[in-house]
Amino acid sequence: MTAREKKRRAAMIAVAYYLEQEAAKNNQEEKEYTTWASAGKELIMDNREMVQRRGRLRKRA
């Protein structure tokens, strides 16, 4: 096996592992949301956090 093939195989394994973790995370998140209200609150909190972080990054630059 050449060095390029080894790197390619390692990259494919890393991508497969990442996709597995994302699928597990999504399954866990689906279980956490018991009602539409809690899902909506979580989305609002995530949006606020993103906006706040964006504002802090602009002040530093």
Listed by start position, the domains of the chain span: 3-60
Q: Which residue in this structure is represented by tokens 């964006």?
A: 54
Closest CA to 43 of 29, 54, 56, 31: 29
- Mean pLDDT in consecutive groups of 10 residues from the start of the chain, 61 residues: 93 93 78 70 85 66 50
Q: Which residues contact 42 (CB under 8 A, 6 or more apart)?
A: 33
Cβ atoms of 38 and 30 within 8 Å: the answer is: no
pLDDT on residue 38: 77
pLDDT on residue 17: 94
Q: Which residue in this structure is represented by tokens 């993103």?
A: 50
Written as six digits, the tokens of 56 are 């802090």
pLDDT on residue 32: 58
